[in-house]
Structure 1
């Protein structure tokens, strides 16, 4: 099936690879012309996660598709709030707030993330462990 801009599977786009997992952007200006938000599927192997970071000027939504993990989000005073999360949980990350995710389960963890406005994901290309993965990986 040919990819179009309305129906996109993670396997149909190149992915951002990192030592801790990968991000397959399925919604973004460069993927389908979305201009108010971007998003995609994050795959985290067991025991892996992304370090504490923030997205200046952007909000984020993380939806847990599968697996189990630990999510940290800083509150408005900069205090970390950590919770165990699993399938069906939606995590809201306010604008510019620091956060971190770790897969604490025995198997893979899969998330769907949304950034608003689009763009914070492009900064990931500057990380030292970034690599562009070909379509289908």
Structure 2
């Protein structure tokens, strides 16, 4: 099945955007989730885990810091891949000045549904481009 990003809704959180191109909710019979995740400069997501799925992150562009389990934070950059075992705590933070773009997979698929329960979650309909609003900096 051919999936076009422009015809897919976008999940928006305060730290980035997520576009799930292949997942069990939208493609009958699929057993995995694949999507593009963009982490905004200077942002990242809280430590969390996926008790029911393993995750693979592939860095398309950018640089950041990753944690997996009890490891010390380690740098990630364009071309790197990270494997996160099922149920292991992990986090990603963008340390660069440009967007950190990732291809993310869950196996088995379905973990992407959990983003909907986060308090800062918003879904932008297909065909509408989400915008990032930078937080105002405090006066010096």
TM-score (normalizing by structure 1)? 0.88
Out of 1, 24, 29, which is 1:29 matched to?
24
1:88 aligns to 2:83 (yes or no): no
User: Which residue does 1:132 correspond to in 2?
Assistant: 123
Confirm or deny: 8 A CA contact 1:44 1:110 kept in the other structure.
yes
List structure 1 runs of 4+ shifted beyond 4 angstroms. none
The within-5 A match list for 1:114-125 is 114-125=105-116
> How far 1:34 sits from its partner (Å)?
4.7
- How far apart are 1:44 and its partner, in Å? 1.2
Is the 8 Å Cα contact of residues 10 and 40 (structure 1) preserved in structure 2? no
- Aligned to 1:33, the other structure's residue is in SS state coil
Which of the two has greater strand per residue? 1
Instruction: For 2:44 and 2:28, locate their aligned partners in 1 and report how far apart those are by CA, in whole Å.
Output: 29
Structure 2 spans left out of the alignment, 5+ residues: 130-140
User: Out of 36, 40, 43, which is 1:45 matched to?
Assistant: 40
CA contact (8 A) 2:59 2:81 kept: yes
Corresponding residue SS for 1:97 = coil
- Aligned residue for 2:116, secondary structure, equals helix
Q: TM-score of the superposition, structure 2-length normalised?
A: 0.86
